[in-house]
Amino acid sequence: MGIQDTPEEWQITATATPFTGNKTSVRTDEVVMPDGSRAKRDYQVHPGSVAILALDEDGRVIVVRQYRHPVRQRLWEIPAGLLDIPGENPLHAAQRELYEEAHVKAENWRVLTDVYTSPGGTDEAVRIFLAREISTAEGERFEVSEEEADMELDRVPLDDLVRGVLAGELHNTCLTVGVLAARAALDGDGLDALRPADAPWPARPFEA
């Protein structure tokens, strides 16, 4: 491949954590710049996330709609969740989130894409999975709370979501990246050419 991101780490001479929250924290690092000067960089330390573009046999994507307080909007999104357990297998986390948010399971899993949500301000890494061969999960529905308590659930044709993204009507990062990646895969080598669900993820190493 002719172009790709590469690991690199500039020297850190001091670090502090001025804020620690329930799931994330804020860190301040003093970094040595290429010219030898030093600069402070503030960023959110994040455990990482998974998201699932679940595509049914009719070409529809499972989407959820919920309120997001920082942006003061109710957004359409694809199911997603935090990697709450250090070293957790991201596929297992994705299967759990799909069950909890949509009460479905999938037999066919692939890695759709890996992204950093905002690398200038957070180290959050997200693995977006493609899930197919969908069916209703067994047992009782998972009991949701807080923002998820009034969450809406729907299935929308993939191309309708692509149009919504390009029209500036849909804004969630994982939905935007996911639907555009899925459309590109369909127009390219096909969904079966995507990476396997257990593909390495250097940004968030995990146990098998």
Question: Angle 121-125-128 (CA atoms, 0-180°, nearest 5)?
Answer: 135
Strands 60-68 and 195-196: unpaired
Is it the case that residue 208 has pLDDT exceeding 80? no
DSSP state of 134: E
pLDDT band at 196 (very low <50, low <70, confident <90, very high): very high
The per-residue pLDDT for range 180-192, each reduced to its tens digit, is 999 999 999 999 9
**Structure-derived torsion over alpha carbons of residues 157, 159, 160, 163, reported in degrees to the nearest 10:** 160
Active site (annotated) includes residue 148: yes
The per-residue pLDDT for range 137-170, each reduced to its tens digit, is 987 775 665 556 689 999 999 999 999 999 999 9
Contact 7, 202 (CB under 8 A): yes
Q: Phi-psi region for residue 76, left (φ > 0), alpha (ψ -120 to 50) or beta?
A: beta
Q: Which of 148, 152, 169, 207 is catalytic?
A: 148
Q: Identify the helix (H) or strand (E) that includes residue 67.
A: strand 60-68
The burial class, CB within 10 Å (0-12 / 13-18 / 19+), for 102 is buried
In angstroms, rounded to a whole number, what is the distance separating the alpha carbons of residues 90 and 200?
A: 10
